[in-house]
Amino acid sequence: MNLIAAVDRNWAIGKGGRLLVSIPADQQIFRQETVGKAVIMGRKTLQSLPGGQPLHKRTNIVLSRDPEIRVKGAVLCRSVEEALEAVRDFPSEEVYVIGGQETYESFLPYCDTAHITYIDYAYQADTYLHNLDRDPDWEMDAESDEMTYFNLCYTFRRYVRKKG
């Protein structure tokens, strides 16, 4: 299973229910990686998407404990176990956890690859991703050349869970 996120230098991912920054190349990579695959997200992440609607051309799995919520075009799950059952027929490499913080935390133990857009800037934030650079079970195995978007420097990184 994969995790995909954009983080700042403190591994922050958002503030007030929004992404920290919108970088076109990051959005393009996100689309390339996830189209035709399954994406797992929390309710708040769904609500932050354009129109609060599921992503097109993907199987959307939405986690929510709210018994009243209904989501057209998505599979609604009430627990991690239910979400894992919903993606059972997908190959592991075709399942992407896309946020937010609580969903990342819940599914990190099931992930073996993390696709990270690392932004070399520290934002004001209120949501974070587990810092894989500090986790001895993870290692970065690929990093792009540094790119810029206006005055922001960023790289695309891939982390893999160490075998053992």
Residue-wise pLDDT tens digits, 108-127: 999 999 999 999 999 999 99
Question: How many C-beta atoms lie closer than 10 Å to residue 19's C-beta?
Answer: 19
Single pTM value for the model:
0.96
Asked if 118 and 91 touch (Cβ cutoff 8 Å), the reply is no
At 104 the pLDDT is 98
At 67 the pLDDT is 85
40-73 pLDDT, tens per residue? 999 999 999 999 999 999 999 999 999 888 899 9
Task: Please state the domain extents for the chain.
Answer: 2-161
> What percentage of the chain exceeds 90 in pLDDT?
95
At 64 the pLDDT is 96
| Length reported for the chain | 164
Tokens of 158: 């891939």
- Give, for 70, the enclosing helix (H) or strand (E): none
**CA distances from residue 55 to 90, 91, 133, 153 in whole angstroms, order as listed:** 17, 19, 29, 27
At 137 the pLDDT is 97
**CA distances from residue 5 to 72, 78, 113 in whole angstroms, order as listed:** 25, 23, 11
Per-residue pLDDT for 164 more than 90? no
Per-residue pLDDT for 163 more than 90? no
At 102 the pLDDT is 97
User: How is domain 2-161 classified at the CATH fold level?
Assistant: Dihydrofolate Reductase, subunit A (3.40.430)
